Amino acid sequence: EYGAEGEKVMLLKKFDDGKAVMEGEVSDAAVKKFVAGNALPLVIDFNQETAQKIFSGEIKSHCLLFLSGKSDAYKGQVDMAKEVAKENKGELLFVTIDTDEDDHKRIMEFFGMEESELPSMRIIK
């Protein structure tokens, strides 16, 4: 029904492609890394609901994308980030921060960013 073949680990999810199939050796460490890398969307929006998942997750390196959600370029910017995120899955978590939201202005201030620098990104470890 789900297209599973042989002895593979498959993770079903409600985002991105809907499922992820683990390739390679199946060991405790490999399964843990696979699940951590696939537990969240390739690019996740920062908000009250996702903050805990983002900062308490297994992936500690984050690429923060400071983007205007109202911008005509937003979808293209996120699509581009998804392509890069695929190449860094399990190593670097891509997070969009909507700079149009007042609550997110404090995050910009924390990183010493000005409105004139947007769109921008920061990579943190």
Q: How far apart are CA 90 and CA 34, in angstroms?
A: 7
Q: Which SS3 state, helix, strand or coil, does residue 16 take? A: coil
For the residues of 32-80, what is the DSSP string, one character each?
HHHHHHHSS-SEEE-STTTHHHHHSSS---EEEEEE-TTSTTHHHHHHH
| The predicted structure's pLDDT at residue 98 | 97
**Is the model's pLDDT at 6 over the cut of 80?**
no
**Other CB atoms within 10 Å distance of the CB of residue 22:** 17
* Terminal Cα-to-Cα distance of the chain (whole angstroms): 39
**Other CB atoms within 10 Å distance of the CB of residue 117:** 12
CA nearest neighbour of 45 among 71, 78, 20, 14? 78
Q: How far apart are CA 64 and CA 119, in angstroms?
A: 11
Per-residue confidence at 88, pLDDT binned at 50, 70, 90? very high
**Is the model's pLDDT at 5 over the cut of 80?**
no
Q: What is the mean pLDDT of residues 31-43?
A: 88
